[in-house]
Structure 1
Amino acid sequence: MIASSLSSGIEQLGDLIAAASVIVPFTGAGISTECGIPDFRSPSGLWTRNRPIPFDEFVASQDARDESWRRRFAMEETFAAAKPGRGHRALAALYKAGKVPALITQNIDNLHQASGFRPDDVIELHGNTTYARCIGCGKRFELSWVKQLFDGREHAPDCSDCDEPVKTATISFGQAMPEDEMHRAAELARACDLFIAIGSSLVVWPAAGFPAMARNSGAQLVIINNEPTEQDELADLVIRHDIGETLGPFAGN
């Protein structure tokens, strides 16, 4: 059912939240756009301006690795300046109230952690761009280390332990989805009684399968997104309004 107005949608959402025991939010890029972080697929999105670099190309080409890191550092000011928005704060309030055990996200911006979620309770399906990992041994590197070496020689550095390439701790096209995170997300989707998909186009699979998984396991499904999604017909409530305005009333003080 599509909410007839923003006020009606907020009221119905409030009723569903009050009645639910276990709520699992699932967030996409739309929750972070009010924080100044561009999405990926819109006309002004990141993938419109720059062709994504597939994982196999990153591994095979030093030039591709250099370009990948140039793009990341060009975005550093944007990521560093971003603060949690109304949607992040609302979900953090539900988390602190004990309604939300953990959150599933397609986002890579670390804003859920900044809003008050424990890192272990943020299931990052597509990784995190605020630090880096070696693709060989998995060693973690801070971005400041990468940038110091990159600026010094204009080439993306390799791991200091095993000499394999270092990339942001994100999942690129062609890279395997993280098994532990996918398994935990599935468990959460099956165990909740309210699943709220927020700011996701719900077209990136296999992550887009979690709303239907929750619905098929008996949960009520809410979709909050400015644009229609292919899964709207599955939802008990669809709110096509600004995410910050929709969730803002639940953010508390």
Structure 2
Amino acid sequence: MGLMDDLEPPARALIRMVRDAERVVVFTGAGISTECGIPDFRSPGGLWTKYRPIEFQDYMSSAQMRAEAWRRKFAMEPAFRAARPGRGHNAIAHLVRIGKVRNVITQNIDNLHQMSGVPENRVIELHGNATYAHCLDCGLRHEIDDIRMAFEATGEAPGCRACGGIVKTATVSFGQAMPQEEMLRAEAATEDCDLFLAIGSSLVVYPAAGFPLMAKRNGARLVILNREATDLDPYADLVVSDDIGSVLEPLSTLNN
């Protein structure tokens, strides 16, 4: 028996669609990283059900809120540091290597796509990256370990070592503007693809969740792979509601 014979019909259909496509764009959300130990903040019992998210304006205006944000960051850091790419990340990296996937657009901030081998210039991070920080005034990069040392010494969120400005993880907070360059890159990639794979996203956070419909309007086929139903399922050419890693893993055997 071949690989295709062992797969459920939706997974077989996914492999056929990827084989037939020439310009694939992958869009990922938290669901692809849960098997790696990264929490899904929105799920029951997730961080946002325990703590109210800190709004960007509160972070900017309150030293107390900045300290609380860093306290939460350091509490979650062991899980982020221990995480390694999962089966889904590795399958996507394979598709990038063989030239099948042009770009990976992600809502995730965990850096796992890059760790799996996807080149930096192929990853479009809509919500930033939590593995480092930067100054909101001068843009200087700051390493998380350096900030932790300063925070533990004083109990206060440290300022930029170069200009004294406010330092924040390189992520997009509630109330913070989306990164314009990344949004433009994501739009261009979406408009150029012939297959759009939305993986592990509830597709409720806009404007990012608008990309699947943008691809569909431009003639691309749309696949939604998520454990739970989404509001965009009726627009998809294929919906797969199964374990993400198990469904994507066979794609690692594809050749261009």
TM category (shorter chain) comes to over 0.9
Q: Equivalents in 2 of 1:217, 1:29: separation in Å?
A: 26
1:159 offset after TM fit, Å? 0.8
Kindly provide the CA deviation profile for residues 175-201 of structure 1, in whole angstroms up to 9, marking residues without a partner as x: 000000000000000000000000000
Q: The residue matched to 2:9 in structure 1 has which SS? A: helix
Task: Name segments (4+ residues, structure 1) moved above 2 Å.
Answer: none
Structure 1 segments unaligned to the other structure (5+ residues): 1-5
Q: Which whole-Å CA distance do the structure 2 matches of 1:25 and 1:46 have between them?
A: 26
Give the equivalent residue in structure 1 for 2:80. 79
Q: Deviations over 1:9-55 (max 9, x none)?
A: 11000100000001000000000000011102111212112210000
Q: Distance in 2 between matches of 1:141 and 1:23?
A: 34
- Residues of 2 paired with 1:187 and 1:109: CA distance? 24
- In the alignment, the residues of structure 1 paired with residue 230 and residue 91 of structure 2 have an alpha-carbon distance, to the nearest angstrom, of 23
Code of the residue aligned with 1:186 in structure 2: it is E
1:197-220 alpha-carbon deviations (Å, 9 max, x no partner) = 000000000000000000000100
Q: Which amino acid aligns with 1:220?
A: R
**Structure 2 unmatched runs, 5+:** 1-6
Number of aligned residue pairs: give it.
248
Rounded to whole Å, the distance in 1 between the matches of 2:89 and 2:201 is 14
Partner of 2:109: 108
Please state how far the C-alpha of 1:252 moved relative to its aligned partner.
Answer: 3.9
- The letter for the 1-side match of 2:167 is V
Task: Please provide the CA RMSD for this pair.
Answer: 1.1
Matches of 2:85 and 2:206, distance apart in 1: 26
User: What TM-score, normalized to structure 2?
Assistant: 0.95
Matched ranges for 1:22-61 at <5 A: 22-61=23-62
Map 1:1-253 onto structure 2 (within 5 A). Answer: 7-252=8-253
Identity %: 56
| Per-residue CA distance 1:132-172 (angstroms, 9 max, x = gap) | 01111111111011111111111110111221110100000
How far 1:251 moved relative to its partner? 2.6
SS in 1 for 2:109: coil
Query: Matched residues in 2 for 1:121 and 1:150: separation?
Result: 34
Q: Paired residue for 1:3?
A: none
Relative to the length of structure 1, the TM-score reads: 0.96
* In 1, Cα distance between equivalents of 2:47 and 2:106: 18
Q: SS where residue 8 of structure 2 aligns?
A: helix
Report the secondary structure of 1:158's partner residue: coil
* Counterpart residue type for residue 135 of structure 2: C
